[in-house]
Each structure stands twice: as C-alpha cells, then as structure tokens.
Amino acid sequence: MTAPMFAGFSSLFGFGLIVAFLGSIKLKLTSRIGADNAQFGRIIAAFQWIMVVMAILSGVAIDHVGHQMVIGMGAALAAIAVLGIGRAHSSQMVTAWVIILGIGGQLLYAGGNTLLPGLFADPAAGSNLGNAIFGLGALFMSVIAAALLTRLPFERALRVFALLLLTPMVFVLRGDFPLTSHTFDAAVALTLLTNRVTWIVALLLFLYIGLEVSMGAWISSYAVELGATETQAIHTLSYFLVAMMISRLLFGLQDKVTGIELTPAGGAVLVCAGFIAIVTLSALMRTRNLRTARGWVFLIGFTFGPIFPTTIGMTLEHFAPSTWGTLFGVIATGGSMGAAVLPAWIGGAATTGTVQSSFGVLRSAAIGITAIALVLSLLTVA
C-alpha cells in the first residue's frame, strides 16, 4: 500500500463519514434546532446542491492542481464545517455550515474516486474497493454516532467527528502521486459533453445517487415509523451501510478468486442489481415489522453496493486518464443533482403521508436505473 492509495482510501472513508453524518445526527439535530421533516429535507438539499455546483469545479481542480491539494483542502473544510454545525442553534446556521460541508465533501469524493481507479489494473475493482472503504466510513459514523450522542453533549461529539475527517491530511503530505495537474484542456472537455456515454451515465447517476442518499437520510425515520427507538433507528441505518460495504468489498476482490475482471462484465451487474432493487423497495413499502424491514434494508444495501463504483470504473475505462477529473465532474453533477432532488422529494411527501409510502418515488428511480443500465451495457458491448 502506497501513500496515494492510503490518501484515496481515506478520502472516501471521510466522504462516507460525511454522507452518513446528517442521517446519523438527524434526530438529535432536528430536536436541537426545532426543525420538522420538510426543513431537514431542505438542509439535505442545500448540502446536495452545493455538491452539484462543486462537481465540475472539483474535477477541473484535480486536472489543474492534482489530487494532493484537492483532498487536503476537502478534509480541512469538512472538519471546520462539522465544528460549526456543533455550535449552531438554528436551521439557517446549520444550512450555512452544511454548504461548507458539501464543498469539502465533494473535493474528497472527486479526489478519491479519480485517484484509486488509476492505481489498479481493473478500474472497476479499484473503484469498488475504494467505495467499500466509503461504506466503512458511513457505517463507522452511524455506529459511533449512536454511542457518542448518548454519552457526550452534541457539540463535543461533533468535535470527535471533525477530528476523524482530518485523517486524509496525514497521507496527502507524503508520497509521490500520479501526475494529473495541469492536464485540463477546454477543447477536450467539450468533447466529453458531446459523447453520448457521458450523458447516459450522468442520467443513471442522477437516479442512483438520489436513491442511495435518500435511503441513507430517511432510513432512521422509516424505522421510527415501524416502532423503533432512536438507537434502534440508527442501528437500522447501519444494516444498510454495512451491506453496501460488504458488497463492494466482495465485488472489488472477486477477480482474485474468479479471475474475471469486473469492468467488462459491469453492464450485466448493473442490470441485475436494478431488478433486485425494484423488488426490495416494493417489499420495504409493504412490511409493518421492524425485524423484517431490517432484512430488506440489508438486501437493498447489498444490491446498491456495486452500482456506483462499477459505473465509474466502466466509464473511466472509455476515456484518457488525463480527462478523468473533468469527466468525473461532469457525470458526478448528474449524481449530485439527483441527491439534491430525491431526498427533498421524500421529505415533502412524508410531510403529508409517511416515509414508508414515499418510497414509491425510490422504486420508480430503481426502474429507471434498470432501463438505463441495459442501454449502457449494450453501448459498452458495442
């Protein structure tokens, strides 16, 4: 393991902490600032929309200044934002700090996802391993949140979270990183926008990232509707996160056992995952038992696991490494927009109904993912 690998893995670990952060502290935070589901949905939307704005900018930044600078700056901004949220007492102040958190998170997200595929022979496998570490970060956040928020005052607990987010700084200061700085070319960037694969992947990620973020943000509230306590609700979220982590780890390492590279077979993996997601989300909408729901939550997490990293690995394989930062920024914009739209949509629907009934929106997204994955698999085969 080299310093660049550790930097890539730790940046995605940090992004995992950030993604699970709002969902893990949701119940404490909304009680502290007096926010309802709709207001919390708007806080999530602020986080996601700033990531939309930063998506292309972070990708271009990687092609301009390299991974070290981008990952280091992302870690610093994210830690500062978490400290600010710990001191905030209104939804307006939380929203302001969440915007800074989104900027830092996007820098970590882009940095790790474009650094790791280039360090592995099979880009999709490298991406899956990196995003397994992302899952570990998200799981760790959900578990440590349940422990710390019951033992420490809110502000002190968030200081611990902020310290964890600084981990990538240790590795970006060491080692030789791939030379990606100063490779941005506006003419090349325009060719990415005219490539149909770019737009198909952006649409797929719009639906998938929106779906994944919605599950992470609303599973705890879903569990409460089924009779869970606050601690049980946070643990239910951990079922989803640990399943994604295990799934990505298995898909990232499967080539060591089977000898089959994941990147060429990625299209079939995406289509199968989409079908299973449709069935599982339908079951989550019907169940009335928390234990049964946890089983379905685990299955949906395992199913979601390979979708994003396999899509990234397949896509990067079709383009020159010198464009990966900008390319990732373009397709991640689609994902960030989905993450801004779908969770807020769930929040609005839950205000007049229930979180469980609002999962119909997510099932529709899964149907769209399956159809787009089929088109993408045909294009990559061709």
The confidence score (pLDDT) of residue 60 equals 83
- Domain assignment present for residue 104? The answer is yes
- Check whether 99 has a pLDDT greater than 90: yes
Q: Compute the average pLDDT of residues 77-86.
A: 94
Across 67-71, 229-233, 298-302, least confident range? 229-233
Q: What is the mean pLDDT of residues 326-345?
A: 84
Residue 11 within a domain: yes
Distances (CA, A) of 61 to 67, 174, 326: 9, 20, 8
Max alpha carbon distance in the chain (Å)?
Answer: 57
Tens of pLDDT, residue by residue over 247-270, are: 999 988 887 777 777 877 788 899
Is residue 124 within 8 Å of 314, Cβ to Cβ? Answer: yes
Burial of 31 (0-12, 13-18, 19+ CB in 10 A): exposed
Whether the predicted pLDDT of 126 surpasses 90: no
Domain membership of residue 177 (yes or no) is no
Whether 94 and 43 have beta carbons less than 8 Å apart is answered as yes
Please give the tally of structural domains in the chain: 1
Instruction: Answer whether residue 294 is part of any domain.
Output: yes
Q: How far apart are CA 190 and CA 252, in angstroms?
A: 32
CATH number, domain containing residue 216: 1.20.1250.20
Residue 350 lies in a domain: yes
pLDDT reading at 38 higher than 60: yes
CA-nearest of 215, 179, 250 to 223 is 215
pLDDT > 90: percent of the chain: 30
In a domain, 9, yes or no: yes
As a whole number of Å, the end-to-end CA separation of the chain is: 36
For residue 2, what pLDDT band results from cuts at 50, 70 and 90? confident
Residues spanned by the domain of 197: 3-172+184-381
Residue 146 placed within a domain? yes
The answer as to whether 285 is a domain residue is yes
The mean per-residue pLDDT over the stretch 186-211 comes to 84
- Residue 382: its pLDDT value, please? 47
